[in-house]
Amino acid sequence: MAVTTYIVDKDGNQIDASTATVPSDRAFRGAWSLNGSVISEDLTKAKEIFKDKIREVRGSLLEAEDVIYMKALEADDSAAKTASVAKKTALRDAPAASAITNATTIAELKAAWDTDVLGDSPYA
């Protein structure tokens, strides 16, 4: 007995996987949209997934920066405090980056990952 694998899109539509044209990149699988037997990526949904990934990554970075700030506070190092505040602000602002908003393709969206602020991209 043959087993059939189905692909289900974000709206709950499903097709036999063997008949589908599937994107080669699965990074934004949660944004897949089914049109007949062709699966494409919903860029709006992909941007939300991208922003959620930023929020996930920045959590530990903000915690680490809190420690740096507290050490600077204890040492009364105003330059270190200012740098830490700037870093935390950049982390908080990361999901609202214009590069994300202005991305018109999945490739542009992936390129919007700010490695200076967030570190290595999970989309590289």
Contact 79, 108 (CB under 8 A): no
Mean pLDDT of the chain: 92
* Predicted pLDDT of residue 38: 84
Query: pTM for the whole thing?
Result: 0.83
pLDDT digits (tens, 9 = 90+) for 72-109: 999 999 999 999 999 999 999 999 999 999 999 999 99
CA separation for the pair 94, 58 (Å, rounded): 9
Average pLDDT rounded to a whole number, residues 53-81:
97
Look at 3 and 36; give whichever has higher pLDDT: 3
**C-alpha torsion angle, residues 123, 53, 110, 37 (rounded to 10):** 90
